[in-house]
Amino acid sequence: MQVFYDRDSFSRYIDSQKENSKTIGFAPTMGALHAGHISLYELARKENDIVVSSIFVNPTQFNNPQDLEKYPRTVENDIEKLKNSNFVDAVYIPGTEDMYPDGMNRKHYDFGGIENEMEGAARPGHFDGVGTVVEELFRQVKPDNAYFGEKDFQQLKIIERLVEVLNLNIKIHGVKIHREESGLAMSSRNMRLSREEKKASAMIYKTLRTVDDWFRVISIPEIKKRVEDIFRRDDMELEYFLIADEDTLKETDIFSADKNYRAFIVVNVGDVRLIDNMHLK
Ligand code: PAF
């Protein structure tokens, strides 16, 4: 596996792959890699000649400076994990100047409104920051296929819109959420949880499964009320729970038979913000 720390040497690598007509599969990350990330590369390996990863903690998608500061940085470990996986041909670890040569500014995107729902409302500017860095990465990596986890389902939808808006010829693949044995969705942030907090956080997935049982049996407002009751506890704080149309990501109180719905939840455990979601049957 080759490791590139600057834009010029990485661009030469990509250009030589393109000259040899190799297809490129790409999964961008902010590091602190876990089995969920590795599942993206496993899939990319099956569908492409070359698999590329990137590690870059993107400042413009953090609206809270403390969250950015506390984001785990484990680059040496990450490189080892990528090497050991045997799925990845090259990892790009750019510096800030490689990603933001004209200064650390967010672009502004119109994604048709989905950027204002849920995480967009809770974290102003977040999706402009994600769009800015992913657009730049796509321009440098020039992938044929790109892979994103469904844990960040809204982000996945945003990236699908991004390639449409920019008219990029990149196929976006959503990959199923990878979970710990307890059901907790794998996330780089989990490494900041204590043992007790981690154990308690299994509650999030358990609740989503219960919601799936309740869905279409009891009303959505009643489901919301019950979820709020479940999280009336001292060791975690429910930031939001809602059920939304999978296409528009708009919250709904009623369901219709011909649409797909998904439950979305954000829970703060100590100062760790955990997000999860589930397609409802
Ligand atoms: O999902 C992430 O890790 C990040 O939002 C991404 C897509 C790498 C952009 O910084």
34 carries a ligand binding annotation = yes
Mutate to test the pocket of ligand 1, among 53, 128, 133 (most ligand atoms within 8 A of CB): 133
Establish whether 108 is a catalytic residue. Answer: no
Residue linked to tokens 């809602």: 242
Residue 193 inside a domain? The answer is yes
Does one domain contain both 82 and 158?
yes
End residue of a domain, out of 120, 148, 175: 175
Check pocket membership of 58 for ligand 1, CB cut-off 6 A: yes
Does one domain contain both 166 and 232?
no
Mean pLDDT of 197-212: 97
Residue 183 inside a domain? The answer is no
Q: SS3 of 80, please?
A: helix
32 carries a ligand binding annotation = yes
Residue 180 inside a domain? The answer is no
Sign of the dihedral through C-alpha 24, 26, 41, 96: positive
As a whole number of angstroms, the distance between CA 75 and CA 96 comes to 15
The proportion of the chain whose per-residue pLDDT surpasses 90, expressed as a percent, equals 98
Mean pLDDT of 237-260: 96
Report residue 47's pLDDT band, with 50, 70 and 90 as the boundaries. Answer: very high
Q: What is the pLDDT of residue 181?
A: 97
Q: What is the pLDDT of residue 15?
A: 98
Check pocket membership of 152 for ligand 1, CB cut-off 6 A: yes
Does one domain contain both 128 and 12?
yes
Residue nearest to atom 6 of ligand 1 (CA): 29
End residue of a domain, out of 129, 148, 175: 175
Total domains in the chain come to 2
Full domain range(s) for residue 99:
2-175
Does one domain contain both 213 and 125?
no
Find the helix packing angle between 75-85 and 35-47, rounded to 10°: 40
Does one domain contain both 160 and 262?
no
Report residue 121's pLDDT band, with 50, 70 and 90 as the boundaries. Answer: very high
Q: How many residues does the chain have?
A: 281
Does one domain contain both 30 and 164?
yes
Q: What is the pLDDT of residue 120?
A: 96
Report residue 76's pLDDT band, with 50, 70 and 90 as the boundaries. Answer: very high
Does one domain contain both 36 and 158?
yes
| Mean pLDDT, the chain, integer | 97
Which CATH number is 25's domain given?
Answer: 3.40.50.620
Does one domain contain both 275 and 143?
no
Q: Report DSSP state, residue 218.
A: B
Does one domain contain both 19 and 135?
yes
12-24 per-position pLDDT tens digit: 999 999 999 999 9
End residue of a domain, out of 122, 142, 175: 175
Does one domain contain both 45 and 84?
yes
Does one domain contain both 15 and 116?
yes
Mean pLDDT of 180-185: 97
**Contact predicate 156/148, CB 8 Å:** yes
